[in-house]
């Protein structure tokens, strides 16, 4: 792989911010904001590819598979962030969505030099995650050429997992390895080469869509309601009460109902609407693959 990064859009200097250090603070921030505002439209143009990957993840979940996201530096931190937030938001097992960063968890809080440049490290990370043909593997690399991500996709392909890549440059090494490439060409950064900025924002938007979309497709929401949340603190328990009220119309006895349902919003809703015990409500949800909508409207 060539080490000359000249000519890559993510490495170029932005004409819009060449005089950034000479500007008054508010105007400097306006220039940054102007550049950030370009990102959502770029992501919108990639929606067809994002949809392909979202459907692949949903299908994997339905077949007992998992989602693994891999990246180095900012990309890896975003991968871990998205994965960690899936469990409390959607009530899924911790291993269903897994984020991996080059250099391991230490790299979340400090740079691990050389980790990005190690394709064998990428291969090893896929092996350590025990990726199978039932899983989806997404490699995130703003430049599209991180050797770690190349190794990730090579090993994932060898294991017959569905492979995807998210990159901000055209015609990268990852294009040749991934089944689906989500290309979000955000162009030069406000600070040349600082891909934690527009490129990082684009990757976060893409990850949000894939994980959220797959959870919606697999019944982890009711409309736009977070009915599968894990109520692990006071704020989330209060939200659970509001959710049960929204779904059922119940205004009193919400905490008692949720206590009986082990603070499971979906189970509490089925208990109240279908007049079932906690155990019977749990069986109904299991029968409908966790879908509250189907459990509420279906009768034996």
Any idea which residues carry the catalytic annotation? 85, 116
Please report, in angstroms and rounded to a whole number, the separation of the first and last CA atoms in the chain.
60
- Are 157 and 185 a contacting pair, CB within 8 Å? no
- Are 277 and 284 a contacting pair, CB within 8 Å? no
Token duo for residue 257: 């109902």
Could you give the CA distance from residue 277 to residue 27 in angstroms, rounded to a whole number? Answer: 61
The helix-helix angle for 278-287 and 265-274 (nearest 10°) equals 110
């Amino acid at each position: 792989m060539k080490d000359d990064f000249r000519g890559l859009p993510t490495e170029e200097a932005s004409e819009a911010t060449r005089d950034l250090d000479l500007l008054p603070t508010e105007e400097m921030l306006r220039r940054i904001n102007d550049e950030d505002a370009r990102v959502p439209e770029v992501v919108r143009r990639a929606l067809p590819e994002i949809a392909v990957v979202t459907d692949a993840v949903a299908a994997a979940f339905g077949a007992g598979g998992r989602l693994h996201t891999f990246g180095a530096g900012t990309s890896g931190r975003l991968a871990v962030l998205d994965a960690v937030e899936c469990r409390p938001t959607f009530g899924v097992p911790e291993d269903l969505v897994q984020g991996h960063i080059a250099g391991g968890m230490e790299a979340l809080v400090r740079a691990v030099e050389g980790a990005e440049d190690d394709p064998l490290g990428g291969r090893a990370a896929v092996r350590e995650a025990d990726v199978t043909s039932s899983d989806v593997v997404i490699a995130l690399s703003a430049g599209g050429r991180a050797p770690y991500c190349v190794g990730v996709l090579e090993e994932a392909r060898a294991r017959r997992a569905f492979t995807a890549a998210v990159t901000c440059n055209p015609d990268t090494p990852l294009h040749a390895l991934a089944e689906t490439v989500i290309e979000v060409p955000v162009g030069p950064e406000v600070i040349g080469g600082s891909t934690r900025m527009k490129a990082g924002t684009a990757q976060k938007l893409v990850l949000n869509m894939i994980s959220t979309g797959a959870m919606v497709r697999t019944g982890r929401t009711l409309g736009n309601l977070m009915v599968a949340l894990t109520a692990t603190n006071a704020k989330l328990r209060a939200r659970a009460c509001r959710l049960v009220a929204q779904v059922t119309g119940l205004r009193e006895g919400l905490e008692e109902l949720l206590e009986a349902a082990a603070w499971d919003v979906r189970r509490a809703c089925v208990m109240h609407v279908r007049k079932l015990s906690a155990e019977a409500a749990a069986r109904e949800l299991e029968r409908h693959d966790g879908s509250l909508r189907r459990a509420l409207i279906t009768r034996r």
